[in-house]
Structure 1
Amino acid sequence: MKDVDYIIVGDGYAGLFLAHQLIKNNKSFVIFSEGRKSASQVSAGIINPVVLKKFTTFWKAQEQIDFLKDSLKEIESYTGENYLINAPIHRIFHDENEQNLWLKKSGNEELSAFLDKNFDSLNGVKNDFQTGKVNQSARLDVNGFFNGLFNYLEKNSHLIKERFDYARLNPSESVYKDFSFKNIIFCEGMGVKDNPYFSEIAVVPNKGHHIKVKLSQPIPENITIKKKHFLFPTGNGLYFYGGTYDRDQLHHHIDDSAVTQLVNGLSEFYPYDFEVEEVHFGFRPTVKDRRPIIGRHQTWDNLYVFNGMGARGILNGCYFSRDLFRFIENDIPLHQEVSSKRFQ
């Protein structure tokens, strides 16, 4: 029997940022990874403190941005790489009204640090009303982040590449197969619906598609362009464009209507030819009030859930992994806004 402090089930942003908390605090753990690409692994990796439809911000945006940057430096200390790409978002304005709204909002105390007052004109794309830059926005090198962390976890015997079998879990004895554990944390995204201990939590799947395209004419490389969706280079001469939001078409194959939506969206501001080389999709676990769901099982004190990261998986997964760790280790209460108890 192998003793560990923690078992983590799930290998998206929630699971990996939680693993970082355990590494940082010298806790013994294993993480179960099925080996399928999670929604996190096909995500855009956008780090953005602003809701770009309405030019508003969200709860704890500045704290989350600061905490993520610190955490990525800590992760660099053991993987040898920093996965932060300094490529700020430039939002293409649809019309003069949007320009004026942006300027007005940039005077707000909670938005002044994020909305740049100076507008830019970009080469290679249609931006008749210019673009607004989101200060402190960036991207995560998604492939680098997952590859680097999986390699580290595997090298240090933390990674178990198999599907977690709920039938083999005995919470009353704190035993799973040949592991005895203190705590087990389920970070499964939409996989939680198959989990007999937490299947009732209020997460709703939101299907997102993105396309990888080959552009016939270059665009600025060191930024992320946003109109309806995000456009940025991914290497190998390809560009990421996405992602869509769909709560209705939840089948597990590509939706042609989503691809059409993306092609039309890109054509609106990229006036040259482009070819769609790849199409990807995933299911984000979203929550009605746009807050994560974090908490302890009602019956078993050693079982926890960390879910509902939604479209802000990087910021939510990173920031709230610390809150969950402190809740378990130091009995520091969770914010009411993210506690699973708010739905009881």
Structure 2
Amino acid sequence: MTKSVEYIIVGDGYAAIFLAHQFIKNNKSFLLFTEGKKSASMVSAGMINPAVLKRFTTFWLAQEQIDSLKNTMTEIEQYTGQNYLIEKPILRVFHDEKEKELWLKKSDDENLKPFLSKDFVKLNSVKNPFECGVVNQSARLDVSGFFSDMMNFLESQNYLIKEKFDYQLLKPNDSTYKDLSFRKIIFAEGMAVKENPFFAEIPVHQNKGHHLEVQLSVPLEDGFTIKKKHFIFPLNNGNYYYGGTYDREQIHHKIDDVAVEKLTNALAEFYPHDFEVKEVKFGFRPTVKDRRPILGNHPEFGNLYVFNGLGARGILNGNYFSINLYHHLENDEEIHPEVDLKRFQ
């Protein structure tokens, strides 16, 4: 007997989960297929950061994305009972006096004024002789809590199918998959899209990121996220996240000792106390050359969609463009031209 749903989502990272939220919020029938592997989203830092902290600039739609995310987290709280935003700001450790002066200069820029505070902070737990800049409106997501609770909710409501999606069994012309009929299917698979015969050619490139889980002998102050070369912040288990690296060349699914050494050396540079590496994790972020996500439908099969290429800003991009995609699917609202798949055709 054929079961009918409006939508199928394939994937379980930020793109898939935020789109699932749009369907839940709007009472749409859907199923989400997950293989149960740890996606790059699930091992991400969860940074919500409106500033580019190398050059003290901001990025496209930063304020709109921050505002939208806060709204979505309030909506999700209504059914999970939790808000996963940890509203502790990012503190950027200055390397020298010149950086501090540049920060002050940039903080007068109209685009950066909402994000770069003129008030500096001095920390006791790390080396910061030139103090730290405070990134206003920055926060982080409780990544493990978010994914765990969302998956449990999806399962409890019978939205979740825990199995690998088999492309061979998809019949786009009939809008059927196995014994399911659907209106539209959205592939939000991250780097697994390279195995998808319908969207394997989209120009996403993998960017491997390592991070460490460390135990610190002296805790950091007040639960802040501190950024020098990398981010460090407390985890729920008393340890700390430190990372992550960016590597476009490496494709093997193993821990890279060079990346681990870079991270431990960088941490030892500014954390003057003993620490112990408890675990090393890595994931592959799907990135796009023009730093824009990819949304759109298949040129031949109008009922097949892709939602990919969220890059290092997976939370902000995933949430914001899931709303754009939802309104496109339901109301024929135009996909923003800068993220539309058609820009590559």
Question: TM-score, normalised to structure 2's length?
Answer: 0.99
Indicate the residue corresponding to 1:216 in structure 2: 217
SS at match of 2:21: helix
Distance 2:219 2:325 in 1: 44
Partner of 2:161: 160
1:222 positional shift: 2.2
CA distance in 1, matches of 2:149, 2:222: 24
1:232 aligned partner: 233
Q: Secondary structure at the match of 1:172?
A: helix
1:33 aligns with 2:14: no
Residue matched to 1:201: 202
Which segments of 5 or more consecutive residues in structure 1 lack a partner in the other structure?
none
Report the CA distance between 1:235 and its aligned residue.
2.4
Distance 2:99 2:131 in 1: 10
Alpha-carbon shift at residue 263 of structure 1 (Å): 0.4
CA contact (8 A) 1:207 1:247 kept: yes
Q: Give yes or no for contact 1:116–1:134 (8 Å, CA) kept in 2.
A: yes
Residue 226 of structure 1 aligns with an amino acid whose one-letter code is: K
1:242 aligned onto 2:257: no
Secondary structure of the residue that 2:173 maps to in structure 1?
Answer: coil
Question: Residue 148 of structure 1 aligns with which residue?
Answer: 149
Report the CA distance between 1:336 and its aligned residue: 1.2
Q: Return the letter of the residue paired with 1:175.
A: T
Q: How does 1:276-291 map to 2 (within 5 A)?
A: 276-291=277-292
Aligned partner of 1:109 in structure 2 is 110
| CA distance in 2 between partners of 1:229 and 1:157 (Å) | 39
Partners of 1:203 and 1:219 lie apart in 2 by 37
The separation in 2 between residues aligned to 1:290 and 1:168, in whole angstroms, is 33
Q: Is the 8 A contact 1:221 1:233 kept in 2?
A: no
Aligned letter for 1:132?
G
State the shift of 1:123 in Å.
Answer: 1.4
- 1:11 aligned partner, one-letter code: D
| Counterpart AA for 1:58 | F
Q: For residue 177 of structure 2, what is the aligned residue in structure 1?
A: 176
1:327 aligns with 2:323: no
How far residue 267 of structure 1 moved from its aligned partner, in angstroms, is 0.9
Q: Distance in 1 between matches of 2:16 and 2:147?
A: 11
Map 1:114-133 → 2, pairs under 5 A: 114-133=115-134
Distance (Å, rounded) in 1 between the aligned partners of 2:238 and 2:300: 52
What is the alpha-carbon distance in structure 2 between the residues aligned to residue 223 and residue 296 of structure 1?
41
* Equivalence map 1:297-308=2 (5 Å): 297-308=298-309
Write the distance in 1 (CA, Å) between the matches of 2:238 and 2:72: 30
Question: Residue by residue, what CA displacement relative to the aligned partner does 1:138-192 show, whole Å, maximum 9, x if unpaired?
Answer: 0000011001100110000000000000000000000001110000000000000
2-structure distance, mates of 1:284, 1:292: 12
Aligned to 1:232, the other structure's residue is in SS state: strand
AA in 2 matched with 1:31: L
| 1:238 aligned partner, one-letter code | N
Is the CA contact (8 Å cut-off) linking 1:86 and 1:222 kept in structure 2?
no
SS of the residue corresponding to residue 235 of structure 1 reads coil
Match of 2:72 in 1: 71
Superposed CA RMSD: 0.6
Instruction: Give me the identity figure in percent.
Output: 66
> Following TM superposition, by how much is the alpha carbon of 1:119 offset from its aligned partner in structure 2, in angstroms?
0.6
Q: Is the 8 A contact 1:221 1:232 kept in 2?
A: no
* Structure 1 letter corresponding to 2:195: D
- 2:7 corresponds in structure 1 to 6
Query: 1:12-43: per-residue Cα shift (whole Å, max 9, x none)?
Result: 00000000000111100000010000000000
CA contact (8 A) 1:208 1:283 kept: yes
Residue deviations 1:266-319, cap 9 Å, x none? 111101111100000000000001000000100001000000000000000000
Is 1:338 aligned to 2:345, yes or no?
A: no
3-state secondary structure, aligned to 1:54: coil
Q: Deviations over 1:186-242 (max 9, x none)?
A: 000000000000000000000000000011112113210000100001022210000
Displacement after TM superposition at 1:65 (Å): 0.2
Counterparts of 1:312-323 in structure 2 under 5 Å?
Answer: 312-323=313-324
Q: Which amino acid aligns with 1:178?
A: D
Q: 2:23 maps to what in 1?
A: 22
- 2 CA distance for matches of 1:128 and 1:259? 26
Deviation per residue, 1:106-127 (Å, 9 max, x gap)? 0000100000001110111000
In the alignment, does 2:62 pair up with 1:61? yes
Taking the aligned partners of 1:28 and 1:262, their CA distance within structure 2 comes to: 44
Deviation at 1:250? 1.4
Q: Matched residues in 2 for 1:264 and 1:210: separation? A: 13
Aligned to 2:82: 81
Tell me the amino acid that sits aligned with residue 15 of structure 2.
Answer: A
Tell whether the 8 Å contact from 1:39 to 1:283 is kept in structure 2 after alignment: yes
Query: For 1:29-85, what per-residue CA distance to the aligned partner results, in whole angstroms no more than 9, with x for missing partners?
Result: 000010000000000001000000000100000000000000000000011110010
